Amino acid sequence: MKIKKPYRVKCSRCGEINVLDLDLQCVSSYERNMGPELEHMAIFDDLCIKCSADIRVRVEAWEYPEGNLEDYSVVIEGAEEMEEPEFSIEPPFFDG
CA angle, corner 60, sides to 64 and 36, nearest 5? 25
What pTM, to 2 d.p., does this model score?
A: 0.89
Closest CA to 85 of 95, 71, 96: 71
- Angstrom distance (rounded) from CA 70 to CA 38: 10
pLDDT grade, residue 90 (50/70/90)? confident
- Mind listing the pLDDT tens digit for each residue in 5-53? 999 999 999 999 999 989 999 999 999 999 999 999 999 999 999 999 9
Identify the DSSP state of 13: T
Q: Residues 49-75: pLDDT tens digits?
A: 999 999 999 999 999 999 999 999 999
